């Protein structure tokens, strides 16, 4: 995925400005920066979730496999089927564990029960949740623990086999053990799927990502190899942020 000159405005207010970034295929890109710096807004513009917020306007270009996702006649629904998303607060549907994961398949028109069952199992295994829930698939997804709920949401997103997975602070509401499981999961998915993860936690960014981008006041200050950004940042603002001088 690729963004060029991307600007997002809420009414008159500019949320992000002139963002140019390449998201490398099958790698993990971490986005860090202080609260309100625009990293979540940027993330939501990669699957056109900003379209659902009244008053938002997006200019610039975002390409998925060379195709402009803001092009004319592009249906945002089709974009979102190829670019999945996991949110900060886990949001399982008030349905069974099985139906949560099957949801994306069913809305895409899949009917064959055995195929759905197989895809649900594969997604749950992928999300490292299968062993914990395989005996309780008909139970409500809301009965799971917070960390399990978040992995259920990841499984739900993986079930539709997206090319890109966007994760908006997926572990910020979880305890350290649940967080570690999510991080392991992201690390496992590395190489199979393109991931963009927004995080407040710099250790997390350093642990799971190959590349890191630093957002500040609506601008992308710098982006590069994670090891380089954390050890030899090119910009003064990045250095100040990662060494804890602000933010």
**Residue numbers at the binding site for another protein (CB under 8 A):** 47, 49, 52, 54, 77-78, 80-81, 84-85, 87, 89, 91-94, 103-104, 107-108, 140, 142-143, 153, 156-157, 160
Q: Could you tell me the two tokens for 118?
A: 């197989």
Cβ 144 to another protein shortest distance, Å: 11
Output the smallest distance, CB 200 to another protein, in A: 19
Dist CA 184 CA 19 (whole Å)? 29
In the bound state with another protein, the residue whose beta carbon lies nearer, of 167 and 178, is 167
Phi, psi of 161 (to 5 degrees): 50, 65
CB of 11 to another protein, least distance (A): 12
Is the CB of 87 or the CB of 215 nearer to another protein? 87
Q: From CA 85, how far away is CA 76, in angstroms rounded? A: 13
Q: Which is nearer to another protein, 48 or 211 (CB)?
A: 48
Cβ nearer to another protein, comparing 87 with 214: 87
Least Cβ distance, residue 102 to another protein (angstroms): 11
Look up tokens 């709920």; give the residue: 149
- Contact between 39 and 198 (Cβ < 8 Å): yes
Question: What contacts 24+ positions apart, CB below 8 Å, involve 113-117?
Answer: none
- Tokens coding 206: 């350093």
Nearest alpha carbon to residue 12 among 70, 55, 61: 55
Nearest distance from residue 111's CB to another protein, in Å? 15
């Amino acid at each position: 995925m690729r963004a060029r000159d991307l600007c997002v405005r809420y009414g008159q207010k500019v949320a992000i400005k002139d963002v140019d970034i390449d998201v490398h295929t099958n790698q993990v890109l971490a986005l860090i920066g202080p609260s309100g710096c625009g990293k979540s807004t940027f993330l939501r513009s990669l699957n056109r979730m900003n379209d659902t917020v009244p008053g938002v306007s997006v200019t610039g270009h975002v390409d998925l496999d060379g195709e402009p996702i803001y092009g004319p006649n592009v249906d945002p629904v089709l974009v979102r089927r190829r670019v999945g998303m996991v949110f900060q607060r886990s949001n399982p549907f008030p349905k069974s564990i099985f139906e949560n994961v099957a949801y994306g398949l069913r809305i895409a028109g899949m009917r064959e029960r055995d195929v759905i069952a197989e895809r649900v199992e594969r997604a749950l295994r992928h999300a490292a949740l299968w062993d914990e829930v395989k005996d309780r698939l008909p139970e409500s997804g809301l009965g799971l623990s917070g960390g399990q709920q978040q992995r259920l949401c990841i499984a739900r997103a993986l079930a539709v086999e997206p090319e890109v997975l966007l994760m908006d602070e997926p572990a910020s509401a979880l305890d350290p053990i649940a967080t570690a499981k999510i991080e392991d999961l992201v690390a496992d998915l590395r190489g199979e799927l393109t991931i963009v993860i927004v995080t407040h936690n710099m250790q997390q960014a350093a642990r799971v990502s190959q590349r890191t981008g630093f957002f500040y006041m609506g601008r992308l200050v710098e982006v590069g190899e994670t090891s380089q950004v954390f050890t030899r940042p090119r910009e003064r603002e990045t250095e100040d942020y990662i060494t804890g001088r602000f933010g």
